[in-house]
Amino acid sequence: MDFSSEPGPKMGFVNRGRAPTKSISYHESGSHIFVASEKDSTLRIIDCLNGCLPADRPSLIKLQTKGIHTVQSTHHDKCVLFSGSRDHHKNTIHYLSVHDNKILREWSGHTGQVTGISLSPVDDTFLSSSVDGTVKLWDIGQPGNPLGEMRLPPNVEGSPIAAFDTTGLVFGISAKMAGDEGHHIQLYDARNASLPFSEMKVTRQEIEQKTQSSGSTPERAFALSKNEWTSMEFNKSGKQILFRSKGALISVDGFEGTVLQSFLAEADHMSTPSLPMSGCFSPDDRTLLCGNENGSISCYDADTGLLVRKLRGHVGRIECLAANPRYAQFASSCTNTALWIW
């Protein structure tokens, strides 16, 4: 998909919400997407093939008692995993049937807010990361204790993040190192997750230099290089890993750990954003989509870092971006969620 050619992606169906989107997740079939809003504890479902609300299931689910922090679609088309946002539910992962709004299963093992969930694309195992400093591996079919727990080295002080790659054979874990030294990355074989098979370090100085070369002032580049990474995503080939942070997206070589590109959030002012920047790879790895504070979407060549197109249509900050895994479509959310096609 060449985003530089005309006419380029066009905004199609728009589903209007009342609160900023916290998390979005396409089903693997590409037929629908789940949209979570933490502020009003709602989960919306959008039919991506027909550009409408679904006719075969509820389109809006309220989770007032548990709240909702992050959502992850599963292999079942009517079930999702989500982490709560209220009281003791912050530490719990829930398996929800959206057909009848029933919790089918729960996993409690973390002692702090669950910040991320990543499902294996090949089976029912999933990763959960938490502010308690751990990453746990679970199986949807096995309630109770986790299959394993991964801990980062003693020199790590930040909250870990984790994600499976697109093959399901590898997953990665990362966290910020103490003393603003940078970030530590570990890669695991999903079939034998006892020890990482690769460890990489991304220094703060390397992030600062790449950010400054992307057009940032030295002062802003220094501030951005110290920010904690909040989530990670492998591209389809596994050659690049995208890390999200406040005000910037960092792409890293998936084999060597070197910083490839730094993409800065565009805003109507130069102050450093207080929320993580949204972004994702296109399914063919050619384009990197970056959500901006001013409601626009910047489309960059993933290899060269050059801007190829700017998309506009949102009236507020882009909170989430995700690429459809099967079709020429991606979704963007501020308060409203838009489906783009080309």
Residue range 62-102, pLDDT digits in tens = 998 889 999 999 999 999 999 999 888 899 999 999 999 99
Task: Evaluate whether 320 touches 37 at the Cβ level (below 8 Å).
Answer: no
pTM of the prediction? 0.94
Domain boundaries, given as residue ranges, for the chain:
10-341
Alpha helices in the chain (DSSP H): 204-213, 218-225
Mean pLDDT of 20-44: 97
Q: What is the pLDDT of residues 258-274, one digit of tens each?
A: 999 999 988 655 555 66
Q: Given a cut of 90, is residue 143 above it in pLDDT? A: no
Confidence of residue 340 (pLDDT cuts 50, 70, 90): very high
Pairing of strands 114-119, 125-130: antiparallel
Q: What is the pLDDT of residue 268?
A: 57
Q: What percent of the chain has pLDDT over 70?
A: 97
Query: What is the model's pLDDT at position 269?
Result: 54
Identify any residues that bridge with 238 across adjacent strands, giving them in sequence order: none
Q: Write down the mean pLDDT value for the chain.
A: 93
Domain 10-341 sits in CATH at 2.130.10.10
Taking only the tens place, the pLDDT of each residue in 33-60 is: 999 999 999 999 999 999 999 988 889 9
On the CB side of 162, CA atoms within 13 Å amount to 33
- What is the rounded CA–CA span in Å between residue 40 and residue 85? 11
At 1 the pLDDT is: 66
pLDDT of residue 2: 73
How far is Cα of residue 324 from the mean position of the Cα atoms in its chain? Answer: 13
Q: Name the one residue in this structure whose structure tokens are 């990362």.
A: 174
